[in-house]
Structure 1
Amino acid sequence: MKANINLSIHLFLWLFLTVTSAIYAQVKSDFKKSKTIYNEVIVNGSPQQVWKVLQSYGEVSNFNATIDESYMLNEGTGVAVLGAEREIHIPNGINNIINKERIVAFVDGVYFTYDVYDTENFPTRQMEVTYGVRRNRSGQTVLFSRTEYEMNNYLTTSMLKGKLKKSNFDSLLSFKDYIETGEMNTDLKELRRQYDQKEREETDFAIRLDPSN
Structure 2
Amino acid sequence: MIPPRFEYHAPKSIGEAIKLLTDLGDSAKLLAGGHSLLPMMKLRFAAPEHLIDINRIPELRGVREENGQVIIGAMTVENEVINSPIIQAKLPLLSDAAKLIADPQVRNRGTIGGDIAHGDPGNDHPALSMAIDASFVLEGPGGRRTVAASDFFFGTYMTALAENEVLCEIHAPAFADGTGYAYEKLKRKTGDWATAGCAVVMRK
Q: Normalised by the size of structure 2, how large is the TM-score? A: 0.27
**Structure with more relative contact order (C-alpha pairs < 8 Å, separation 6 or more):** 1
Q: TM-score when scaled to structure 1?
A: 0.26
